[in-house]
Each structure stands twice: as structure tokens, then as C-alpha cells.
Amino acid sequence: MRPIFLPIFLVFASIPIHFEYFGQAERKILKYPFIDLFNSKRFLSQTNITNLGDNQYYVEAAIGTPKQAVTLLISSISPWIWVDDINCSKCRQKNNKFDSSLSSTFSTSGSTKDLESVAEVSGKVCTEKIEIGASQIEVSEQSFLLVDTEKNSDSMMTDGVFGLGFDEGDCKSFISSLKAEKKIVNRRFAVYLNYYETSPDVKNYGKPSIVIDGYDNRLSSVVSSGFSYININTSEQKWEVKCNYVAFGSKKLTRGSKAEISLGTSWILGPNDDIAIIMKSFLDDYDCDSDTDGFFKCNCDKEYPKLVFQLDGYNFTVNPSGYFEKYNDFCYPSLGYAQNSDTWILGDTFLRRFYTSFDMDNNRIGFAKLEINQTIPNPPPNPPDPPTPPTPQPNTTDNQTISNPLLSHSSSSSKSLAIIIVIPLLFVFIAIPSAIYIYIKSKKLEAKKQMDKETNKKVKPDDPAFSEIIIEDLEEAKLAKTPSNALTREPTAQYESNKDNEKNASLYPSLKEIWN
């Protein structure tokens, strides 16, 4: 055993001994406080996400006091959280709704707002206690929208939306509120989106997750490989980055100059002209066809080109298995039109290929490539990717590179950290409790000596003054339950009876106990 572990062992071994001398109430407060030293808030903030067939991802949430359970679709489009009002007649009828009249922590400013976040909604701006996930990550006063009008929400399978966008006016995002309440250090969250069915070329790490101010421990190998960080467009305050170009195999698409990273958008959406080129290639080069609903369907056995996005100089590749969805023995491309925009919308289809870190404080977004599933043969060859600019060497002072403190400690720094932790622990859990215990013991000993001195001054039970002393003591302690004259009245004939003699007999032992 290394020497450094010995004082740690002594610290934890001594904790039950010191706690034994505290009162019951104190023991409840101080029970196992050392756990928080190793369970940082970043680990307490991990929340599992539910995958609805690769179309939508949601978190379970609780709103109000007492809590009312709802499901919220995660979305990075805006910072707003919204749910339907229980009295909303223009909302979907089969989902859970929030009843503000049942909550003691609900408040509203009276103002209203129109919002386009997954659906078109409008309602009252309110404040409420909101928590998400089984780990109960809670904000005591979170702004949200209580919806009374809802449009274009038929495709939603959740009760509302959980906004993870940048702050907007008076509305702080849930992440910003956590930092304002000092429950996290950094406004940062990492998202892992899995495939509903096992992907043929990406390793499955289990349930999807969102981790606030930290990373998912299951993806530690991915995190250790490093993130490619890209600065976002700060003027727009969106998760929007520069897009150099998009390549579909040998075809280079240059219409889009920006790309928005969009949680809550199911597909990859692009400018009309660029998407038209891709769809035409499916028809002409790969004999795809459109079904009765207008969706392109392709033969899953054919070899298709990769889709490459160069974002601010970094290449990010989506293999055909990533942009196709298989249904009834056909493969359907998860690509669509971005409504005449010059911006690519990189939704869940793109994000399932990477572990993504959204860093609000540093205005950047990072992507770490998920591990390849080694049990599957390598994908067929495709046209070479466009050349990637040389990646700058890590610089400890560069804002673009951050090492993960949870994974990259050297042995020397580990020893220094251990010493820094152990010395305060020795002081807190050994020195302070020992001093308190010695102080309490000395006070008890002093009180006992004082009591012994007072014993010699006390009168005996047969002393006439004894009754008066006992009365004073009983009054001060508020323990006298008999009339005040019960101990001072003169003997009368009624005390000669057996019944009254029994009363006196019952009184004497109690006095004797008080004396002793």
C-alpha cells in the first residue's frame, strides 16, 4: 500500500469514532459529509435521455410544489422551457399538462410571449421550481412558458420542450440558472445520442445522456481522445459555426456558409440547391425511387458515398449508415430542405456520430468522434475526403484546447492533489472533533466537581428547610405537577388515613431521587 493511502484510511476510520460524541441531531447533519469530496456536482448532474425511435429525445422533468411529472424534448434552438397549461383548449389533448393552481411555488409576471421552438406556441411567462432526471438537478426559480395556444405540434411525442439555447433577454436557460444558483461551476453540457437500433459502425455506449458541467463516464475513452472545438457565431448567440463546404462523395456543395448544431431537429437539413444535388444523385447514380408519400427509398445493399462537413477547418464525416434509416427492407435518407436558408441544420442524424460538448462560457462547441464498432468489417471505399487543414498543436494558454482534468493527471500532480486533500481532512475530521470532545469532557468534569461541592451544602430531608428548597427547584425546572401547597401544608387528620399515608409514601421516593 502506498504511504499516501495510510492517512486517508486513518481519516475515514476515525469518522465513526468522532461522530459518536455528537448528539443525534448533529449526527444526522454530519452523516458521511466526505462523500461530496469525491462526488463532484458534475457527476451528480448526469441525466439519462429516452430515445423515441431516433426521431426525438426527451428528459423526464418535474415542475412545481408538489411535483408534476412531464416529459420534455431536448432542444438547443432556444433557452425556453415550455409546457401546456391545464386549461389550454388549443393544445394537444392527450399529453400531460401543468396545473399551476396546485403549486405553492408558482408565480407569473403577467406578460405573454410568442415562441417558435419545435412548435409554434404562445402563453404566459412564469417562474417555477423545475428539476430534471432521476438525479434531481433542480433550479428553484426557473423562467418558463405556460402555453395556452399551440400550432404545428402534432408530430411531438412529449409534453413540452427543454430549451438548451443561449440566454434570451430576461429568460435564462436552465444551465445559466444552475450557475446563478451556484450548483455548477461552468455553463457546459455534453450530450450523447445513441441509435435506437444498433448501428453497424458505431459503438453502443448504452442509454443516451446529458451531463451538465462534465462528461459521461461511459465515454471516458472518447473524451480522452480529445474534442475538436469550434468557435460559434457570437453575434447570433446560437449554436452556429462556420461551414467551409459540404461534400457528397466527389460532389462539393458550397451553397451553405453556416451550420447550426441543432438538438431537437431529427434530420440533417440543407439549402435547397445543395439538397437537390444530393437527391438527384440518389435518383440518377443509385437508382433510388420515391414512395407514395414522396420520400426517397433506396436499396440498402448498394454502396453510397460519405457525407463530409468541413466546419471551421475540421472535417466531420457521416457514413451512409448514419444518414440512412432502414424501414421495411428499404433505406430512407434522413436529409431534408432547410426552407430556402443558406444555413445547414445539423440535427440528431449528425449528432449521433459524435460526443458533443456545448460550452456556453467559452462560446464554442466540441465534437469527439465515437469509437468504431470493431466487430463490423470496414466500410467499402469511397472517394477521398477533402484535405483537412493541419490541426494546431495543443497550447495550454489557447482557449481552443482544454484537457480533461478527470482523465489527464500526472503522477506528480496526483500526489500533490492527494496531499492538499489529506491535510484539511486530517484537520477537519481528527483535530476539530478531538478538540470538541476534550472540551465537552472538561466541562462535564468541571460540572461534576461543582455538583460535589454543592452536595455538602444541601440540607437533609429531615431539615425543616428541605421542603422550601425542593419547591424552588421544582418551580425553576417547571416540573411541579402538584398544587403549590402540597409540600408545605400542615399535617391534618386526613393524613392519618391509610389512603393519605400512601400518597405521602409515593411522594418521599421522588424527593429522595431528586436529592440523590
Question: Which tens digits make up the pLDDT trace of 284-294?
Answer: 999 999 877 77
Residue 204 has pLDDT above 80, yes or no: yes
pLDDT per residue over 123-182, tens digit each? 999 999 999 987 778 999 999 999 999 998 888 999 999 999 999 988 999 999 999 999
Whole-number pLDDT of residue 454: 57
The model's pLDDT over 375-413, given as tens digits with 9 standing for 90+, comes to 333 333 343 444 444 444 444 333 333 333 333 334 444
The answer to whether residue 3 scores a pLDDT higher than 60 is no
| Cα(347)–Cα(354) distance, integer angstroms | 12
Per-residue pLDDT tens digits for 253-278: 877 789 999 999 999 999 999 999 99
pLDDT of 494 higher than 60? no
Q: Average of pLDDT values for 21-49?
A: 42
Does the structure show a pLDDT above 90 at 61? yes
Neighbouring CB atoms inside 10 A of 359's CB total 18
pLDDT band at 40 (very low <50, low <70, confident <90, very high): very low
pLDDT, residue 448, reads 67
Interval 198-212 mean pLDDT: 88
415 within 8 A of 240, measured Cβ to Cβ: no
Helix-helix angle 5-19:432-457, to 10 degrees: 30
Amino acid at 55: N
What's the predicted TM-score (pTM) here? 0.66
Is residue 264 within 8 A of residue 161, CB to CB? The reply is yes
CA 73 to chain centre: 15
Instruction: Place 444 in a pLDDT band, splitting at 50, 70 and 90.
Output: confident
Span 26-48, average pLDDT = 42
Between 215 and 436, the more confident residue is: 215
Exposed / middle / buried, residue 337 (Cβ in 10 Å: 0-12, 13-18, 19+): middle
Nine cell digits for residue 194: 445513441
Mean pLDDT rounded to a whole number for the chain: 76
Percent of the chain with pLDDT over 90: 49
63 pLDDT more than 90? yes
pLDDT at 507 over 70: no
Asked if 433 and 18 touch (Cβ cutoff 8 Å), the reply is: yes
DSSP string, 210-224: EEETS--GGGHHHHH
Q: Which position has the grid cell 433542480? A: 138
pLDDT at residue 485 tops 50: no
Q: Indicate if the pLDDT at residue 307 is higher than 70.
A: yes
What one-character-per-residue DSSP string does 98-158 give?
B-GGG-SS-EEEEEEEEEEESEEEEEEEEEEEEEETTTTEEEEEEEEEEEEEEES-TT--S
